[in-house]
Structure 1
């Protein structure tokens, strides 16, 4: 039985998937299997990966396009290992990613979630996410409160995290009824029930200008998560209450920017403003056209390697 199962959800990534696979094959820790879940790609993605298929690198095929959550769930159900990790077909791991996660597993047996830091790649620029990793011990490994350190970008993303199988048994699988913020929805459940061991070292590259990231459709066309269903979780957990308020703020602002004013009002009315900072409160009240201008300005700056946020 392999120590890790690596799941690659695949849909139309012919320009990237080979490099993604190579970054897995270049790992210093080699006790793993790879499950590529093809979600009915219409390009040459599958033909590109076929030469790499083996006993340890397998292709799973969907008969119909089902989306990211379903692709992950298919991989999880077929996984032979107890430790499951993911890499999108347009992102890359540093060579020591699996080695780092393996060491976390050995050092923190009380944890069931194991994450590492990452970097964002924009064209030819590499940018650090605004994810509170600067307040965690530099290059240290420790148990951290996921909700406390996620009032910004994710402290990990789904290409830099590993879950023990028991997490899915307790917290459930990825919600196939939504196709926006699926990771956030799952992270709430997983981190509510289980401890997170975290390495504040950069172990993954998240490419921001490929595929869906490059041509984002309106959020109003998406099936959105219902964060209200987690309010009961937050009654005795202040960190989670703050995190839910933050994610509702992000969702409401996003919806307002895209022109969904009634839905914005509904979500913002259920947001606990006492947990938002002054910048976030102001941004929620701004007209949509100003939010659009701010967004365009931020996109211009990010191409120059400059980031500013409301976090």
Structure 2
């Protein structure tokens, strides 16, 4: 099986250098790499070219269109039987492709996704963010959990699809705002089979500061409503949990200001939530510092997603604005 690895890139030369280095260490060697530079000001051409003696790699520069259409650009030029998409801020363990190959040859699926985790080299903030995005006490636990609710929707930071899927779907019809979930739903609607491959784990850096994390997750909350425009039935109660948490937090703060009993009750719930996050993160990360930072990461994730969800729900669903 020949894999085509497609990586859209925008102003992140340092990240692609680290990612390409991890690809040189893959145990399974039958693959090519396509770097799609999406109109970057800080391009990575020289860095990519420096890997030509170690990887079967091709570099393309195109006008800026966003990650979804940049992946399509790569699909159209790929030679593989199976396409794999990574975000540029991922590090790929040496056994990744071997694990994918073994899974597909024993239990073939038309498209797959894999989980993400924190690498030992990540900063405490990055580890806290990674914990929040994968914790059972936040919405992140559904992203790479074998016991996810409903059909599994591969996410584009770590996603694979067959050439047949690409030819049938035409790839991404959105370039941002939930483009990967839209494609995953469309793949399933056409009768293709999807699955989570637990061994297809990547180390996902995500963002290096809480402010960047807030902006990214706020965007995710808006994206969920954008998906609702195409597939209303795919908006589930679980997707509204961050919005409900955000409203609960607001009501608790107001109740405390006015000395209401609801404030005391809300405080008790929040303290319990904080303790759960702290001790679970400490157990997972073996670090009290990361556990402490995980509290902030969890609140930022839930509030940012909740506010983005509420913002576009009011705008697009209630007031019907495009």
- Counterpart among 155, 163, 166 of residue 165 in structure 1: 163
CA distance in 2, matches of 1:288, 1:189: 38
- Indicate conservation of the 8 Å contact 1:5/1:84, yes or no: yes
Distance 1:9 1:148, change over 3 A: same
Q: Secondary structure at the match of 2:83?
A: strand
Distance 1:202 1:106, change over 3 A: closer
Q: Secondary structure at the match of 1:81?
A: coil
Distance 1:171 1:284, change over 3 A: farther
Q: Secondary structure at the match of 1:41?
A: coil
Gaps of 5+ in 1: 137-143, 235-240, 254-279
Structure 1 residue 149, shift from structure 2 partner? 6.7
CA distance in 2, matches of 1:173, 1:71: 10
Structure 1 residue 195, shift from structure 2 partner? 1.6
Structure 1 residue 168, shift from structure 2 partner? 2.4
CA distance in 2, matches of 1:213, 1:194: 35
Distance 1:283 1:305, change over 3 A: closer
Query: Is 1:7–2:6 an aligned residue pair?
Result: yes
- Which residue does 2:293 correspond to in 1? 304
- Counterpart among 172, 182, 186 of residue 185 in structure 1: 182
**Equivalent residues in 2 for 1:207-222, closer than 5 Å:** 207-210=205-208, 213-214=212-213, 216=215, 219=219
- Indicate conservation of the 8 Å contact 1:90/1:210, yes or no: no
Distance 1:77 1:209, change over 3 A: same
**Equivalent residues in 2 for 1:36-115, closer than 5 Å:** 36-53=35-52, 56-62=56-62, 64-109=63-108, 111-115=109-113
**Equivalent residues in 2 for 1:149-298, closer than 5 Å:** 157-176=155-174, 178-192=175-189, 193-201=191-199, 203-210=201-208, 213-214=212-213, 216=215, 219=219, 225-231=226-232, 234=233, 241=234, 244-246=235-237, 249=240, 253=243, 280=244, 283=246, 287=250
How far does the alpha carbon of each residue in 1:215-260 deviate from its partner, in whole angstroms, 9 at most, with x for none? 837649x8872423223xx5xxxxxx5xx22476379x4xxxxxxx
Distance 1:72 1:17, change over 3 A: same
CA distance in 1, matches of 2:60, 2:251: 43
Q: Return the index of the structure with the highest Cα Rg.
A: 2
- Indicate conservation of the 8 Å contact 1:105/1:114, yes or no: no
Structure with greater helix percent: 2
- Indicate conservation of the 8 Å contact 2:111/2:162, yes or no: yes
Q: TM-score, normalised by structure 1?
A: 0.66
Gaps of 5+ in 2: 136-140, 254-269, 278-288, 303-322
Q: TM-score, normalised by structure 2?
A: 0.64
- Indicate conservation of the 8 Å contact 1:133/1:200, yes or no: no
CA distance in 1, matches of 2:144, 2:34: 34
**Equivalent residues in 2 for 1:132-147, closer than 5 Å:** 132=142, 136=146
Distance 1:15 1:196, change over 3 A: same
CA distance in 2, matches of 1:227, 1:214: 23
How far does the alpha carbon of each residue in 1:169-227 deviate from its partner, in whole angstroms, 9 at most, with x for none? 33342124x5222222222222343222333236201112259945837649x887242
How far does the alpha carbon of each residue in 1:38-62 deviate from its partner, in whole angstroms, 9 at most, with x for none? 1121114222222123682001110
Task: Indicate the RMSD between aligned Cα atoms, in angstroms.
Answer: 3.9
- Indicate conservation of the 8 Å contact 2:89/2:206, yes or no: no
CA distance in 2, matches of 1:70, 1:182: 10
